[in-house]
Amino acid sequence: MKHAPSRRFARPGLAAWLVPLCALAAPAGAPDAPDTFVQTAPVTAAVTVEGAERTVTLVGRAPGRVLFTVGEDAVGARSAIEVDRIEAVRFDLELDETEVFRDLRRRNWLGAARRLLPAVRPALPYLDLPANDAAEPALRAGDGFMRAAARRADLAETPEQEAFVREQFETAYGILTQAAAARFSPVGALAELKAAQCLLALGKTAEAAAALEAAEEPLPGDAAYGLYWLARAQAALEAGAHRAALDAAVKSAAFETKDIDTFPDALLAAARAYESIGNPYRARDVYVEVASVFPGTDWSETARRRLAAILDRGLTDAEEPVPIKTVFFGLKEDMNARARELLAAEDALQEEETE
């Protein structure tokens, strides 16, 4: 996506848009003042200031300012603009959205993430800039690496596989912490919470708990509401606070929009909490619903594995100590029989696909 320079910058008076780099120097007489700017890889962007857009090359950051050059020479004379004066930024992202979409449809999270990352990597130091168009694809890149790692985490058996999973979570965390700077949109809050989930996956439970405590609690209806309570549920599970985890998972699952990115995970977290507090019947019911409602997904695969483990151990063979007339979603039926039929049907389908 190439952006042509705007001719509006040829108008008199717009020279004030530019601030010479020398203005960033420390005041005269300041003792041993260190350099106040950090150089970055050059990235082309169309920056809007006071309603006027100009294509520049961003080359660094300084406190409260962005450094840039004009023209083809990215190492030429640098100028600066105050971040507060920037209204919007469009980056020159070389991204094939069609191929990304195809990867996502195939649940090839790692493939999608690897397409997204090269496009957004040069823009990562600038994701705090107002109304920039790189924050959302950066969030998708981090989420892709996180999903890819989560899929492999339960199946990793060798040290090499475990190291690969850890590397993917660390990559996701690095991207998401930078995307969290995008506070001009819901992207920032979502990235902050997903970064905390990465910390949980990496076993850094204390850091994850601190990050969640520092995060602002969203209001019902906010884009981050479901994810916030999901992350709190996952953190509580890791801390052994199983009833608190169940409460948080219920809040996430009850989120009125039933966000596909959080609803199934919230149900799985609730099922894990039920298992942990010694209620395999409710865990079974939730796993059955997840596997039924989201067939052919990572959520379904996780639910089926846990469901098979419950049935194989005979945890729900005995009649429930406290009979209930209705179970999950108001159903009244033999849930053990339904669970076995579900697992058998899925196994048969997988055998057909491999023939």
163 domain-assigned: yes
38 domain-assigned: yes
Quote the domain boundaries for residue 321: 278-355
Q: Which domain-ending residue is among 91, 113, 132?
A: 91
Same domain? 290 vs 256: no
Taking the C-alpha atoms of residue 147 and residue 108, their distance in angstroms, rounded to an integer, is 9
Same domain? 245 vs 318: no
Same domain? 123 vs 170: yes
243 domain-assigned: yes
Going residue by residue through the chain, which has 355 residues, state the pLDDT in tens, using 9 for 90 and above. Answer: 444 443 333 333 344 455 544 343 333 333 443 457 899 999 999 999 999 999 999 999 999 999 999 876 555 568 899 999 999 999 989 999 999 999 998 989 999 999 999 999 999 999 999 999 999 999 999 999 999 999 899 888 899 999 999 999 999 999 999 999 999 999 999 999 999 999 999 999 999 999 999 999 999 889 999 999 999 999 999 999 999 999 999 999 886 566 788 999 999 999 999 999 999 999 999 999 999 999 988 899 999 999 999 999 999 999 877 554 454 455 567 889 999 998 988 765 555 555 5
Q: By three-state DSSP, how is residue 84 classified?
A: helix
Taking the C-alpha atoms of residue 282 and residue 263, their distance in angstroms, rounded to an integer, is 17
Same domain? 100 vs 208: yes
Q: By three-state DSSP, how is residue 17 classified?
A: helix
Backbone conformation region of residue 253, classed left if phi is above 0, alpha if psi is from -120 to 50, else beta: alpha
Same domain? 251 vs 211: no
Question: Which value, to the nearest 10 degrees, does the dihedral of the CA atoms of residues 48, 54, 60, 65 take?
Answer: -40
Residue 310 neighbours by CB distance under 10 Å = 19
2 domain-assigned: no
Query: Quick check: 127 and 182 in contact, CB under 8 A?
Result: yes
- Between β-strands 38-49 and 65-69, what pairing exists: parallel, antiparallel or unpaired? unpaired
119 domain-assigned: yes
Q: Which domain-ending residue is among 76, 91, 106?
A: 91
Backbone conformation region of residue 187, classed left if phi is above 0, alpha if psi is from -120 to 50, else beta: alpha
List the end-to-end C-alpha distance of the chain, in Å, as a whole number. 44
For residue range 99-121, what is the model confidence (pLDDT) as tens digits? 999 999 898 999 999 999 999 99
Q: By three-state DSSP, how is residue 45 classified?
A: strand
Same domain? 77 vs 112: no
Taking the C-alpha atoms of residue 288 and residue 340, their distance in angstroms, rounded to an integer, is 10
Same domain? 114 vs 207: yes
Same domain? 114 vs 204: yes
Residue 151 neighbours by CB distance under 10 Å = 17
Same domain? 105 vs 163: yes
Same domain? 264 vs 288: no
Same domain? 114 vs 205: yes
* Residue 98 burial by Cβ neighbours in a 10 Å radius (0-12, 13-18, 19+): exposed
Our count of domains for the chain comes to 4
Same domain? 126 vs 59: no
DSSP 156: -
Q: Which domain-ending residue is among 91, 110, 135?
A: 91
29 domain-assigned: yes
1 domain-assigned: no
